[in-house]
Amino acid sequence: MSYTRRETGRGIGGAAASAPGPSIAPSAGTHLMPGASTSRITLKPGYSQMDWMRRSKRENLRGDDGDRDGESWKTRVIDDEELGRHATRDDCWIALRGRVYNLTGYVDYHPGGEKILEQTYGKDATALFDKYHKYVNGEYIMAATQVGIRPGYVPDSDSE
């Protein structure tokens, strides 16, 4: 498999920060207008994307198994077998565009909910990620949780 660089840069959620129309008070974690078609769920208070970004700056979200040795997460190659060993709600890793992330801490912050993520635990989630929201900057949101890379992945020298 080859991994191509993609342009990102639409901010945290990737979507527009405000919608046209009358001013409304948004509920936690959503910017959508009432009546808009969506599979977003209502997140618990304190679980917005901003809350996540704040938390990911403070805590080690790679987990013990992903943070064994300083900066090993940049180069540690994780094969299918190891990825597949992290496939439960309490210990879930996913691969996205050649990098492997510990998703465990993010699940409660995911605007699309927990249920839909389950099928991707311990697997490569790139196709489903792109199906639902190619525009979301997953690499940025998940940066603090990276535990390794996939076989064949060559990190960009300017993005590490």
Where does this chain bind ligand HEM (CB under 6 A)? 13, 15, 38-40, 49, 96, 101, 110-112, 116-117, 120, 125, 128-129, 132-133, 136, 138, 141-142
Query: Is the Cβ of residue 36 or residue 69 nearer to ligand HEM in the bound state?
Result: 36
Query: Is the Cβ of residue 32 or residue 76 nearer to ligand HEM in the bound state?
Result: 32
- Which value, in Å, is the radius of gyration of the alpha carbons in the chain? 16
The closest residue (CB) to ligand HEM is: 112
Residue 41 C-beta: closest distance to ligand HEM, Å: 8
Residue 125 C-beta: closest distance to ligand HEM, Å: 4
Query: Is the Cβ of residue 70 or residue 134 nearer to ligand HEM in the bound state?
Result: 134
Q: Which residue has the tokens 């808009």?
A: 36
Query: Residue 133 and residue 122: Cα distance in Å, rounded?
Result: 20
DSSP string over 116-159: GGGGGTTEE-HHHHHHHHTTS-HHHHTGGGEEEE-TT----TT-
Which among 7, 19, 13 is positioned nearest to 40, based on CA atoms? 13
Residue 79 C-beta: closest distance to ligand HEM, Å: 20
- Any idea what the Cα angle at residue 77 is, between residues 76 and 80, rounded to 5°? 140
Query: Is the Cβ of residue 67 or residue 139 nearer to ligand HEM in the bound state?
Result: 139
Residue 108 C-beta: closest distance to ligand HEM, Å: 12
How many C-beta neighbours within 10 Å does residue 20 have? Answer: 6
| DSSP element (H, E) containing 95 | strand 91-96
Query: Is the Cβ of residue 70 or residue 127 nearer to ligand HEM in the bound state?
Result: 127
Residue 6 C-beta: closest distance to ligand HEM, Å: 14
